Amino acid sequence: MVTRMRLLQGAAALLYLGPLLAGLGGFGWSVVPVFTAIFLLWLVVIRPQDWPQQAAGWARPEAWLALLMRALVQVVLVSVCFGIGRGIGGAAGLLPAMPVGLPLGLSFAAIPLARLVWKPTVMAEMDSFLDDALQQVEGLQPPPLQRDPALALRLTAPLADLPETVPQAEIEAHFAALKQHLLPEDIYEALDARLQSPDAPRALRRTFILLATAQRCNEACRGRAAPVRALQVAGEDASLVELVARRCLTLLESDVDAWGDCPNPTALGAVAARMPPRAAEAIHALIVRTRDLAPLNGYDPEG
């Protein structure tokens, strides 16, 4: 197959060499239509499947329009090669003596040579194979997810039963599985609905905080202040408040557009005043970062 391709490339080189030599030989532009006809014949021989196979096919306007477009492309290709040949001859002062039949013969010889080394059925089979492969790939792509709050409530039920000591990696694995079936906003709303219960477990609150401060969730829930809700869910739990602060810092590093959804410095300062040193330090770092980003969002950090 590789050898056939290389031989076909050699035949194509002969095809283009013809108008190049014609330009180099100083022949007039009257040879361009002849080369154009040869180039079109090349297309017919190499890719017959692209042309109507029955006489009735030529009765359709689309067939003649396709022929016209291909002819225009071939005119351009021939003219470029012819012009390059003339340019080389003019720049080098060369005007080799040759009969006009030589460049025409070279281009025309490319057609039977190509037909000998290349079977058009191979190209047709390759096109069919690629079309089938493309259809299969498109068929493997899942349909776009749709909003389904009821399904989200069912699928997030296991998150409400996680133990308090569950590793963060396990929670992230749950999120990775859920995103194959649910939109981020559905997961967010389902977990938030479960937190309305006064006895919502701490592990569920932590899970919600990890979701509400994730970049993917914030992009999907832009304008809903998901990180602010995460801070509310943390309540007076110092470790959860610290988690919110550090997650917000990470979020702002990767997505400055989340600034408007994060807690403002005033609210953060009020929370920091009630927290132990470690959590307060994380909150103050978030306050500094929030103020640094304020000018980028059109706000006065001192205002």
pLDDT tens, residue order, the chain (303 aa):
567 677 778 888 888 889 988 888 888 888 999 999 999 988 888 877 777 777 777 788 888 888 899 899 999 999 999 999 888 888 887 777 888 889 898 899 888 888 787 776 555 555 565 666 666 655 556 667 788 889 998 999 888 888 888 899 999 998 998 888 899 999 999 999 999 877 789 999 999 999 999 999 999 999 999 999 999 999 999 999 999 999 999 999 999 889 999 999 999 999 999 999 999 999 999 999 999 888 765 565 554
* 201 closest CA partner among 248, 169, 233: 233
**Last-in-domain residue among 107, 140, 173:** 140
Chain length of the chain? 303
Count of domains for the chain: 2
The answer for residues whose C-beta is within 8 angstroms of residue 191's C-beta and 6 or more apart is 156, 159, 204, 207, 208, 211
Select from 116, 140, 164 the last residue of a domain: 140
Task: Give the structural domain span for 42.
Answer: 2-140
**Residues 109 and 202 grouped into a single domain:** no
Q: Which of 140, 171, 204 is the last residue of a domain?
A: 140
Place of tokens 């035949």: 11
Q: Are residues 75 and 189 in the same domain?
A: no
Instruction: Examine the domain organization and report whether 95 and 193 are in the same domain.
Output: no
CA distances from 91 to 63, 87, 88, 146 (A): 42, 6, 5, 65
The answer to whether residue 302 is domain-embedded is no
Same-domain pairing of 117 and 177: no
In a domain, 20, yes or no: yes
Going by C-alpha positions, the residue among 303, 302, 242, 300 that lies closest to residue 271 is: 242
- C-beta atoms surrounding 34 within 10 Å: 18
Opening angle at CA 46, ends 41 and 52, nearest 5: 70
Residue 60 lies in a domain: yes
pTM score, whole prediction: 0.54
For residues 189 and 276, membership in a common domain is answered with yes
* CB contact set of 41 (below 8 Å; sequence gap of 6+): 111
CA 25, 28, 33: angle at the middle one, nearest 5?
110
